[in-house]
Every structure is written in structure tokens, then in C-alpha cells.
Structure 1
Amino acid sequence: MTTLSCWVRSGLFAVMLMCAPILAAAAPYAALVMDMRTGEVLYSKNEDTRLHPASLTKMMTLYIAFQAIEHGEISLDSVVTVSANAASKPPSRLGLKTGQKIKLRYLIRGAALKSGNDAASAIGDALGGSEAGFAARMNATAKALGMKNSTFRNANGLTTQGHMSTARDMTLLGRHLFYDFPQYYNLFSRRSADAGIKTVYSTNRRFLDAYEGADGIKTGYTSAAGFNLTASAKRGSKRIIATVFGGTSTAQRNAKMAELMDLGFKRAPDRARVQKPAEPGLIAVAPQSGSVARVAAVKSSPRPLPRPGIATHDADAIQLALQAAQAAPIAPVQTAAAVAESLTPLAEVAEEAVELASTVASNALDSSPRPLRAPNRASSIRVAAVTPAPQPEEESSTIEIAQGEPDESIFDDAVAEGDAPSDGPIFAQSSTVQPETLAMLERTKPSDTMILAALNPPAAAPSQKPRVVARGSSSGGRNWSITLGLHNSEFHAQQALLKTALMESETLGDALRKVAKRTRGYEANFVGLTQDMASLACARLAARDMNCAVVGP
């Protein structure tokens, strides 16, 4: 009987997959085409009709996550404990389990590329404290963005009563993602990415590969919604963004989107003054459950300016405080799912479940948070003290990276490094050292362990050869560097390095960041490059109108 039951279930699953396009045929159709530069609507049909957005919802989830990162509420390396609510979500799934610990950066990739419902819900539970709490934040953010006809009930887009949006609203949301978070936007153009526990593949890769100039952004599918897509493309000086609701299949939807994009490029003027949408501040919503929510009350200025005249001797305390804040993990979400989904998992088969037959084997996941490295000084090359516990041997060319900095391979992604906003510090600075910073200092002071020694001197320990911590190897011609110029403070120099590493991860992924104190300021440098790498990196930065100079050995 058990075997028969398994065969019946397998048969039903196969039927659902084959019938998905038929079920979607009844979904209402809507579309809108917009000039990304100006916000002008170039074509629309049923653009304000409230329909099921499906996984286009995840654009809002990611928008709020990016907001939270930029305002210091959370970091890409914060470790999220997966709630029972998130782990219970039906496909498409990243494959998360209740109680599992995973970094936010991997959840973002899983939600953006694979469209994982469990990944999106884990983000929502971490930032909102519960599904209902995050939905309230989504609705408040939608209102601030001018999305007048959208109401959200969950972070993933699974069909739920009252969870609705429009083609106009989703186009506005996509436009805000493009202009408000350019440092993260090209995540949506990736065909694949490392999500910590597996490699994930973009559900939008077919359209990205087929349409000239396409560079994002998000697909969506449920039987109630049909095949949805918000897409953006650039040709010459023109950039178009469009949304389609209610496609009957992936192929039909992509063909319709290509048709609408062509229409947009035909109607858009060659020259247009860019009118960026107004970026809203961080939206604070009171938690709606007993779970811990990481939304702090927002004052009138969500991005406070740095205090003027910070003394040089305070720099270390500030850097340590930043590092401690970056490393702080998210408190585990302790509530189970607040609302049971009204539809069965089979009814919510996501688009990529049809497209992908297999995925790459899971990678090992480090559950411990790894804080971003504190800014280096010119005197960062030093001999490390002999430690009582044996440390794993590492080559001198990589040891500086190994201490407190994410793997450079992570920089292959758009969200590799981008915790620092472009126009202000991540965290408000304080004149007093926080308890977390003091605790970290107490753990790291060598003198603390020496005080605990016995009164009688112990027997002499066998001498150990101190390990030399060196910067990147200069062998093989990697003794070139580039400089981004002088900055007013070490903080701003390090911030410029972080921002540049994010934008040019392909050329600077193997470089080491170094801030050198000069007479007139702090010089931001990338070191450990070959001559070709340095020249290419500077050429690409110059194309972005950024200062850059190649420095030889």
C-alpha cells in the first residue's frame, strides 16, 4: 500500500508539472513598459489591475534587505537561524531546515536567483520577527515607494488572500531597485551564484541570454498568477523596464516581454534627462509578535553624518565597534509559521522546478559569522605573537585575508561586499565604546591570559618560532598596485576601497586592500596585483569617471 501511495503521489506531481501552463492560461494579463531614465510610461494594459504577483514579491523582500544592510540594521555576514515558518515553505526551495544557520548573503542569492521561498521567508522572519511583522514592513515600504495598489501578506509571493499587486507597482519597485541600490542590482543579471549550501541558477537566465541588452531582474510563477516577469534592458543611451503578468508559459512570457521591450526602445527618445525616483528612508514598523525584530526606531535622519573632528587616537575604537556590529548575528526567530498556506505544495510549483532537473552538490557551510576586516593601516605588516594553541598553517600570501575577512571568491557576486553606503557611514558613531567592543578587547588582549599564570614560574616551554604574517606575495609579478587617491580619514579611505571592490570584483577580487597614512591624508590602495591586472582595473575605473593610478614595484 505504501508503494502504491508513492506511485500515486509521483504521478500527481508529474501531472501538475505538465498542466502548469494550462492552469496558467486562465491567469489575467497585464503589462506596463516604462522609460527607466524618466519614469515615463510608454505602453500599458490593465496596469492598475490588482493581480497575484507570485515571486515578483521577492523584489520587495530584497529591497527591504538592502535597506537594512545600508542602514546598519544587519550585515551580509550576519548569521540567520532558519525558522520553522521558513523551512516549511513549498518549492521552489533553497533547501533550508529548521534551526539551520546561514549567512544573509546566501539567503539573498537564494531568493534573487533561485527564487527560493524558504530563503525569502527566512529573510522576512529575521527582519520582521514574524511573517505578519515583515508583511507590515513590506506594506509600509510599498506606500513610501508610491506602490498604491499593492498589499503584501508574505515575503515569498505564495498565493494568499489579499496578497496582490499590479504591473505598474512592480515596475516602480524594479526601478527603485535599480536606482536606490546600484551596488546590488547586478546580482539580478547573474546566471548562477554560490548560495552557501549549493550553487543556484537564475530562473531568468533564458531571457537574459536571448534578449540583447537584458540585465535583470525577476521572474514569478504560481498557477493563480501565471508566468510573470519584470525585466530591464539597455541599448545605447536608452534603458527600458517592463512588467508582464499572466503569461501562459515561460516561452510565451519571454516572447511577449521581448515584444514589449522592442516597443519601448522604439518609442523612447534617444536623449532624456535621468530623473531618479526619490529614495525613501528606512521604514520602522513595531514587531507584531513575541519574536525579536531587528528594526530600530528611525529618527528624522536615517543616515547620520559622521561627527566632525574625530581624533586620530579614537580610530581604533571606532573600527572595533564597526567590526563588532558587523559580526553580531541575528537573534533566532522562535515562532512557528503564523498562517498555514491555503494551497498544497504541489499547487505552487515554481518555474525553475520545471526547468532544472538537478543542481550542483551542496557545499559545506560555515555557520559562524565572519566579520569584515577592520581597516588596515600602513603599518599592518607585523610579526604575530606566539599563540598557546596551534593554528592551521596558511601561506603568507593569503593569511591576511584569512583573518576576519570573507573569502575573496564571494566577491564574484554583486552582493559580495556592499555593506558600506556610498554617501555615509554604515553605523552611527559613538564617543563611548560599546559593551560588545569591550568584550572583544578582553578576549583578544594577550595580557589577560598572562595574569592567570601560577605564582610559581612554570617549567620553560619549548621555544616556538614566531609566525610572520605577511601581505600578499609579490612573486609571479604580483608586486603592482593601484591607488584611488587621498581621503580625509582612514574610515573614508577604507569605505572607498570596499565600494570599489564591490564594483570591480572581477578585476580586484584577488587584490588586498590597504590604507596608508600620508602627509595630506589617507591613501586608498589595492596591492598584490600583476601589471596587467592593475592596468585593466584602472582602465575600468577610469571608464566610471573614478580616480585611479597604477603604481609599479
Structure 2
Amino acid sequence: MGHYARLLSFVFVAALLALVSASPLRAAPYAAIVIDARSGEVLYAENADTRLHPASLTKMMTLYIAFEEIQRGNISLDTMVTISKHAAAQPPSRLGLRAGQKVSLRNLIRAAAIKSANDAAAAIGDAIAGNEADFARRMTRTAKALGMSNTTFKNAHGLTASGHLSTARDMTILGRHLFYDFPQYYNLFSRRSADAGLATVNNTNRRFLDAYEGADGIKTGFTNAAGFNLTASAERGGKRLIATVFGGKSTADRNARMMKLLDMGFGKAPRNAPVNPPAPPSYQGGDEMLVADADLPETADGAGKTVRVSMNVTTSPRPLARPGAAAPEPPAETVVATAEAVDAMQSGIEGALAAALAPEDSLESQAAELAQAAAPAATLAVDDVELASAGTTATDALPDADTLAAAVAALPDVPPQARPGTEPGTDAETDALAAATLPEATPTEAEPEIIPFQVVSAAGVAVSPRPQTRNAPIFDDVATPEATAAAEPEVILSVSTSGERHWGVNLGRYGSSYEAERALLRLQLVETATLNGSLRKVMPRSGGFDATFVGLTQDQADLACRRFQARAIQCFTMGP
């Protein structure tokens, strides 16, 4: 009986296998199209408008939107993106990201474009829109603006989802827009490998790129529901073609079909076709895709994003009063806020004036206090370049510039109090890139003399200011006036704004005025050329003291803030 039972089981299994092998595996639907990229003319199409699963061809749209955000200045390649739990949980292919990890947008783009990493694509979408659903809606709106009329997106990576569908024609349209709208990034799709920060990633399309002459992109895709997909571009003899294949049975089958499609296209494409780039996307109701700066992820230590504060009133928030009607009183909150702003500006100006007119004893005591906190006779080096003294001292009583610089440089750093939404930390790659690209500020041959104060006597007669001679990197010589009988007291009326020097740079809030002054002094030592003619000002505020440089032009303030950010020092410019 046991022998017959085993024989019966064997026959049953054999019959089942025969039944399965007799039923052919269901292949994904096939679609294909090839166009002349120069004119957009369709050279061949088969099922080109059938809505199918695009798989990872979806990432072309994710990258297109990322390039849009970079072009608009809402984000940069060096922006540090905090990886969300949603992105870190995506299935392979993956870069291996962890929730809470910070990765530059540059590396996420490389991983999504070259390795087709699902976690990197999801992280890009979350960084730009905040969550998957909002980013998918933006992807669909962008597709409609590009003329992709049969495409609906549900995620940033292309994994199978209900309603996540596109067509071969629409993906070819998207590939053409990538080529013409962002040529500066298009070479990314032809790289065989790239460094994505966490690992070196290899191109999923390298077999086709190596096998077909003139091929230089663009994107592969595969899921069980989609089959093997590919949108490719190639150039031969001045002809540029873009083609898409949906539903290949394998990588080899997909590549072979694509090669035949392109060969046919090169044979049919005219030699001298007109070059008509596609029109840029037209969003209904204007450019509704812009993202506010407040919604962008913070970079390391807050650097990488410049915030400009302006107090100019350009438009009236209220309608004009009717004839004969009394003008409405401003709200109490507005009056209080305005008064506080005026008081703060007034106290800041008074502080700057008091610091500028401090007697020699005060300057000596400040310098001595700084010098006592560090070892003397040190050498200050910035970016591997030693700062040399100008060869003279501010006064006989003050230490020389080298000793003062060494004393200040040796002091421990005191970071400013963190603003809400920022985290401490720096990104070395961002610092190096920013420092390498920033122009060096050099004084012009005939720089106008800067007179920081206007002095008027008590009798109302203007008094010529003392001549100023800049003999040291930071301090001006303190001129000691000769004793005169019955000298009239000098009254400071205002800070000079000659040369449109209405701008300043705020470095943040510190716990004490000493810490704020020390931060200003350290930075002025290493950025002497950039901060030429500026004044250090410490303004008391609720919860601390703001460290600011004032007396700059708008261009000088912008340049200074960019250079500070290159040193991982958060700042923002202040306008009139």
C-alpha cells in the first residue's frame, strides 16, 4: 500500500507540472514608439497611447521636478535632505538609506537616475513636497503641463500602484523635455557609474549603452506588472532619436527591440530636420509649483540658504479711504511692533556709536581681556593661508595685530543659539564647494573714503571728522586730539549712509554680549577684505544678544553672508 501511495503521489505531481507548463505565462502588454528628437515627428508607433505600468520610468518625472526646483533656487544640489521613514522603508532597488539620515540632494539624484534606487526617489519627493501624496499630485500636474495627457502618477519611484499609469508616447515626451529643458544634467543618464555618497552605484542601462553606438540614456524600468521598459536616446550623423519600449520579456529582449526600433528610426529620419525644441511647461494659473523657502529642508547648520530681511513697504495692505471718511487707526499690535522695531534700531545705532567712540582705556581693556583668555604669540591660519600683520599697531598701548589675532583665534567657539527648525552640524562637501566657488573680494584701486559718522557741534556747525588711517587689519588708529581750551562738546546725530551702506549681516543670537562681540571679532579677522568699512554691532534682544555687521552695501552684505555660509556659519542679510 505504501508503494502504491507513493506512485500515486508521483503521478499527481507530474500531472500538475504538465498542466502548469501547458499554460503560457502572461506577458506584459507591449508598446513602442520612436520620434525624431529634433522636430518631435513620430517615426513609428505601436500601442503608443495604451495606458500601462511605467515602472521606474517614473523616476524621469521625479528628476525633472528636482531639476525645476534647483533652477528656481528653491533647493540646491548640496541641500542636505533628512531621510523620512517612508523613504527608508522602500523595497529594492535601494541605496540603503536610514530614517533620520542626512544625504545631499546631489547623491539622491545620482542614486535615483543611475541605480534606480526607490528609497532615493522617495526621499527626493518627500523633501520637495513633504509627503508622497502631494508629490504625486505635483507629478501629475507637471505631466499635464508637458503634454503627457494620458499619465497619472501615484508615487515617486514607479512601484506598481492602482492608477499609476502612463503610455509609451508620454514617456517619450518626458524624455525629450529632459534633453531640451535641462541639458546641463542630461549627461547624468549616460554615466556607467557614479559616487552616490554612501556607495558607488552602477547604471542599470549600461548593457544597452555599451552595445548601441550613439546611445546616451535615458532610463530603465521593471516590475512584474510592467515587464521590462526602457526610454532611450541616441545620436548618429547629426540625427537625434528618442524611443520607448514597454513590456519587454527580459533585459536582452527589451534591448534588442530598442536597437531595432532605433535602427528603423535612423533610416527614416531626414538628414536636415528642423530643430524645434518643445515648449516649456505651461501651468494653469501661472507657476503654481513654487515651494516657499520655509518648507525646504534645512542644510547642515542652517547654511546654504540666504534669507533677506527687508523693511521696505512696497504695497499698502488696506484700501484707500472713501472721500470724507476718517482714516482708520492702525491696529494696536502694529503700533507696538513698529515702536519695538524703532527702539531696537535706535538702541543698535547707539551701541555702535558708543563702541566707535569708546576711549583708549576701554579699547585697551577689551583687547587685554581677549588676550588673557588665550596663549599669546600664536599664528592665525585661515584656509591654509596665514594672515600677516600690516606691520603697524593701532596704538602703542594696544598689542600688535598678530598677537591679537592669535589670542582671538585660540578662544573656544561659542555657537549662537539655534533658531527653531535648525540643527547643529556641518557638511564638509557643502563647505568646500561653496568656498571654492565664491569670488574673492578685493578692494578697488580708487576706493572712496568711508566717513562712518557725521559730527555736528552744539552750535549747529558741521565739524570736519578726524582723518582715519587704516594701518591694521581691523582697528583704525585712535587719534588723540590735542588739548584745547573750552572745547565744545561733540554731538553725534546719525550714522553715515554714504555709498548706499544701509545693509547689514546678522550672525545669530548669543547668550552674552561678550560672546557676540567675540564672534564678530573672530570673523572680522578672517574676512577683512569682505567686511571692509563695516561696523560690529551687538544688539540686546529678548533671550540674548544679536551679533551683526552694519554699514554695508547690498552687494557687500550678500557676498559676506555667502562667505560666512561657506564656513558653516548661519546668517541673514538685513536691509533698510
Q: TM-score w.r.t. structure 1 length?
A: 0.54
1:407 CA displacement: 8.8
Match of 1:383 among 387, 411, 414: 387
Residues paired across the two proteins, number: 336
The residue aligned with 2:129 is 128
1:368 CA displacement: 6.1
Shift in alpha-carbon separation, 1:452–1:240, aligned structure 2, 3 A: closer
Structure 2: distance between partners of 1:69 and 1:452: 32
1:403 CA displacement: 8.8
Shift in alpha-carbon separation, 1:258–1:407, aligned structure 2, 3 A: farther
Q: Indicate if the aligned counterparts of 1:24 and 1:249 stay in contact, CA closer than 8 A.
A: no
Structure 1: distance between partners of 2:410 and 2:25: 61
The residue aligned with 1:405 is 432
Q: Deviations over 1:36-79 (max 9, x none)?
A: 00000000000000000000000000000000000011111111
Structure 2: distance between partners of 1:192 and 1:271: 34
Q: SS where residue 245 of structure 2 aligns?
A: strand
The residue aligned with 2:105 is 104
Q: SS where residue 86 of structure 1 aligns?
A: helix
Q: Deviations over 1:204-248 (max 9, x none)?
A: 111111100000100000000000000000011100000000001
Q: SS where residue 438 of structure 1 aligns?
A: strand
Structure 2: distance between partners of 1:230 and 1:89: 23
One-letter amino acid of the structure 1 residue matched with residue 387 of structure 2? V
The structure showing larger relative contact order (alpha-carbon pairs under 8 Å, at least 6 residues apart) is 1
Q: How does 1:287-436 map to 2 (within 5 A)?
A: 295-296=290-291, 330-331=296-297, 371=304, 383=387, 386=406, 388-389=409-410, 404-406=431-433
Q: Are positions 1:75 and 2:76 aligned together? A: yes
The residue aligned with 1:219 is 220
Structure 2: distance between partners of 1:198 and 1:248: 30
Q: Are positions 1:438 and 2:506 aligned together? A: yes
One-letter amino acid of the structure 2 residue matched with residue 438 of structure 1? N
Structure 2: distance between partners of 1:266 and 1:183: 29
Q: Deviations over 1:396-438 (max 9, x none)?
A: xxxxx989332999x9xxxxxxxxxxxxxxxxxxx99999x52
Q: Indicate if the aligned counterparts of 2:31 and 2:47 stay in contact, CA closer than 8 A.
A: yes
Q: How does 1:90-101 map to 2 (within 5 A)?
A: 90-101=91-102
Q: SS where residue 48 of structure 1 aligns?
A: coil
Q: Deviations over 1:456-508 (max 9, x none)?
A: xxxxxxxxxx9999xxxxxxxxxxxxxxxxxxxx99xx9xxxxxxxxxxxxxx
One-letter amino acid of the structure 2 residue matched with residue 383 of structure 1? L
1:369 CA displacement: 7.3
The residue aligned with 1:249 is 250
Question: Considering only CA atoms, is the larger Rg found in Structure 1 or Structure 2?
Answer: 2
Shift in alpha-carbon separation, 1:89–1:29, aligned structure 2, 3 A: same
Q: Deviations over 1:127-156 (max 9, x none)?
A: 111100001100100000000000000000
Structure 2: distance between partners of 1:183 and 1:273: 22
Structure 2: distance between partners of 1:37 and 1:451: 57
The residue aligned with 1:49 is 50
Q: Deviations over 1:7-43 (max 9, x none)?
A: xxxxxxxxxxxxxxx9986100000000000000000
Q: Are positions 1:267 and 2:278 aligned together? A: no
Structure 2: distance between partners of 1:68 and 1:372: 14
One-letter amino acid of the structure 2 residue matched with residue 268 of structure 1? A
Q: Indicate if the aligned counterparts of 2:228 and 2:254 stay in contact, CA closer than 8 A.
A: yes
Q: Are positions 1:449 and 2:517 aligned together? A: yes
Shift in alpha-carbon separation, 1:261–1:286, aligned structure 2, 3 A: closer
Shift in alpha-carbon separation, 1:24–1:108, aligned structure 2, 3 A: farther
Structure 1 residue runs of 4+, over 2 Å off? 22-25, 281-287, 294-297, 328-332, 366-373, 381-391, 401-409, 431-435, 437-443, 445-453, 466-469
One-letter amino acid of the structure 2 residue matched with residue 296 of structure 1? V
Structure 1: distance between partners of 2:506 and 2:199: 37
Q: SS where residue 219 of structure 2 aligns?
A: strand
Q: Indicate if the aligned counterparts of 1:204 and 1:219 stay in contact, CA closer than 8 A.
A: yes
1:371 CA displacement: 4.0
Q: SS where residue 258 of structure 2 aligns?
A: helix
Q: Indicate if the aligned counterparts of 1:64 and 1:138 stay in contact, CA closer than 8 A.
A: yes
Structure 2: distance between partners of 1:41 and 1:164: 21
Structure 2: distance between partners of 1:49 and 1:105: 34
One-letter amino acid of the structure 2 residue matched with residue 270 of structure 1? R
Shift in alpha-carbon separation, 1:403–1:46, aligned structure 2, 3 A: closer
Shift in alpha-carbon separation, 1:225–1:252, aligned structure 2, 3 A: same
Structure 1: distance between partners of 2:157 and 2:503: 36
1:296 CA displacement: 3.0
The residue aligned with 1:208 is 209
Shift in alpha-carbon separation, 1:49–1:390, aligned structure 2, 3 A: farther
Shift in alpha-carbon separation, 1:192–1:370, aligned structure 2, 3 A: farther
Q: Indicate if the aligned counterparts of 2:79 and 2:297 stay in contact, CA closer than 8 A.
A: no
Structure 1: distance between partners of 2:201 and 2:209: 16
1:450 CA displacement: 3.7
Q: Indicate if the aligned counterparts of 1:371 and 1:404 stay in contact, CA closer than 8 A.
A: no
Shift in alpha-carbon separation, 1:266–1:76, aligned structure 2, 3 A: same
One-letter amino acid of the structure 2 residue matched with residue 404 of structure 1? D
The residue aligned with 2:16 is none
Which residues of structure 1 form unaligned runs of 5+?
Answer: 1-21, 288-293, 298-324, 333-365, 374-380, 392-400, 412-430, 454-465, 470-489, 495-553
Q: Indicate if the aligned counterparts of 1:170 and 1:243 stay in contact, CA closer than 8 A.
A: yes
Q: TM-score w.r.t. structure 2 length?
A: 0.52
Structure 1: distance between partners of 2:26 and 2:214: 29
The residue aligned with 1:156 is 157
Q: SS where residue 431 of structure 2 aligns?
A: coil
Structure 2: distance between partners of 1:190 and 1:70: 22
Q: Indicate if the aligned counterparts of 2:145 and 2:283 stay in contact, CA closer than 8 A.
A: no
Q: SS where residue 263 of structure 2 aligns?
A: helix
Which residues of structure 2 form unaligned runs of 5+?
Answer: 1-22, 307-384, 389-404, 413-427, 438-499, 529-554, 560-576
Structure 2: distance between partners of 1:273 and 1:117: 38
The residue aligned with 2:170 is 169
Q: Indicate if the aligned counterparts of 1:103 and 1:369 stay in contact, CA closer than 8 A.
A: no
Structure 2: distance between partners of 1:199 and 1:433: 49
Q: SS where residue 409 of structure 2 aligns?
A: coil
Shift in alpha-carbon separation, 1:169–1:433, aligned structure 2, 3 A: farther
